[in-house]
Amino acid sequence: MKPISPLSININDDDFLSWTGADTYTRARLFEFALEHANDPVIITTTQLDLPGPHIVYVNRAFTLQCGYSTEEAIGQTPRILQGPLTDRAEIVRMRSELLQGNPFVGETINYRKDGSPYFMEWSVNGLYDDKGVLHFYVAVQRDVSASKAYEQRIQEQARELAHVNQNLAIANQDLAESNQNLATANQELAKVNARLVELALTDSLTGLANHRAYQSRLKEELDRAKRYQTPLSLLSIDVDRFKSYNDVHGHPEGDVALQQIAELLKAHTRSSDCVARPGGEEFAVILPNTDHEGALCHAENLRAQVEAYNWPNRPLTISIGTSTTSPADNFTCPLIQLADEALYRSKSTGRNRVS
């Protein structure tokens, strides 16, 4: 379709207000000019909704720029050429239902350009009726909202990240805001970075558990608390059985997945007051505050059984566990880590997949 030239029409202001001064041809040219220079793609189709229809009878210049089809390529085609794998079928069905009922339609879905690239769009479809109420065409107006969708996704990602900011960050931000309102924005960003560094320093990057440093610090804290309140404290030392051969056969990526799953099982079956850690490699540890040795054995056996019962995708995996306990009875002199490691060695040397 050739570009439409600007029109020279001699109509006074009163005529424009009433539209009585423009003949049918001039008004048609005005409307066509407006459509061709609209920013949003416009498609006019026939009214046959069943295949092979509807057929495109008109597209404006914005359509060709957005979708990549020339006017000649689009005319006679069905709008289904714009649909693809991610097109929302439910929206298409809803549109058909609304149009069959004589209602206008407004919706949102993903369409595809001629080169196959997808884009989010909002679109409306209205029937074009004559004075007698006979439907002749459907007029669809599209709007590319990919940029706003991408912005919404970024906002959602940022919201998820902010949800993980810990209580210390909130307190720090509050103190900074009260102490110096002028520097609140800059200090808030700095506090976020510092909190993230602290988290990285104390967290195992693979499993999200406490790392070796955090584990040692937490064990000292719990031992001090046990002495203060005269309550027992137990420790589980855990090792994944034959994990080296698992890595050798299935590869390190699969090994990492297995370690992550074991970490999830350990977290899911421990108390909120317990501390699950990964000191290193295939070794895990669980600190059990206010737990005597009998309770530690029961807890360890439950964890062992959970890992054994899990439906592992490659081959069964099991864990061996060693336990140790210190209490007022030994005046808190028991070397927890050493005794737990010795018990773990007994579990490994007597057949694995057991608790000692």
Query: Are the beta carbons of 336 and 322 closer than 8 angstroms?
Result: no
Helix (H) or strand (E) holding 86: none
Query: Are the beta carbons of 339 and 324 closer than 8 angstroms?
Result: yes
Cα R_g (the chain), whole angstroms: 35
The dihedrals phi and psi of 64, each to the nearest 5 degrees, come to: -65, -35
73 catalytic? Reply is no
The pLDDT tens digits for 8-54 are 444 444 444 444 455 777 777 888 888 888 899 999 999 999 889 89
In this prediction, residue 21 carries a pLDDT of 52
Is residue 132 helix, strand or coil? coil
The dihedrals phi and psi of 42, each to the nearest 5 degrees, come to: -125, 135
Cβ-based neighbours of 5, under 8 Å, separated by 6 or more: none
Longest dimension (CA), the chain: 107
* Domain residue ranges in the chain: 38-146, 164-202, 212-349
Of the listed ranges 104-113, 144-153, 202-211, the least confidently predicted one is 144-153
Is residue 345 helix, strand or coil? helix
- What CATH number does the domain located at 38-146 have? 3.30.450.20
Q: In one letter, which amino acid is 273?
A: S
Does domain 212-349 fall under CATH 3.30.70.270? My reply is yes
The pLDDT tens digits for 93-107 are 999 999 999 999 999
Question: How is the chain split among helix, strand and coil, in percent rounded to 5?
Answer: 50, 20, 30
Query: In terms of pTM, does the model score above 0.85?
Result: no
Residue of 232, 214, 215 lying closest to 223 (CA atoms): 232
Q: Which of 73, 189, 282, 301 is catalytic?
A: 282
